[in-house]
Amino acid sequence: NDTGLAVRTSNNNTLIGSGANIVADGLSFATAIGAGATAANSNSIVLGRSNGSDTVRFPGPILANAITATGPINANGGFNVSG
C-alpha cells in the first residue's frame, strides 16, 4: 500500500484507498478517493483512477452550484435545467 508516499509538504489533504496519492508537493485541500486515485490540484476532489477506467455513479440527486466537464456527460434519463 503506497497511499500518501508522495506527500511531503502538502497539508489538509484526504487520501482514501490503496495507492491514493497527491502528485505534487505543496497541495492543500486536495482529496483522492479510490485505489490508485491521484489528486493533482489544490481544492479538488478526484473519484477513481486518473486514467478514466472507473465509472462514478450517483444513485440520488446531485446538487451543485457549478459543474465543469472536460469530457462527455452521459445520462440514462433526462436533464432538468433551471435558473
Model confidence pLDDT, tens digit, residues 6-54: 677 888 999 999 989 998 889 999 999 999 999 999 999 999 998 888 8
Would you say residue 63 has pLDDT above 90?
no
Pairwise pLDDT comparison (47 vs 62), residue with the higher score: 47
Convert the chain into a string of H (helix), E (strand) and C (coil). Answer: CCCCCCCCCCECCEEECCCCEECCCCCECEEEECCCCEECCCCEEEECCCCCCCCCCCCCCCCCCCCCCCCCCCCCCCCCCCC
- Tell if the pTM clears 0.85, that is, is over it: no
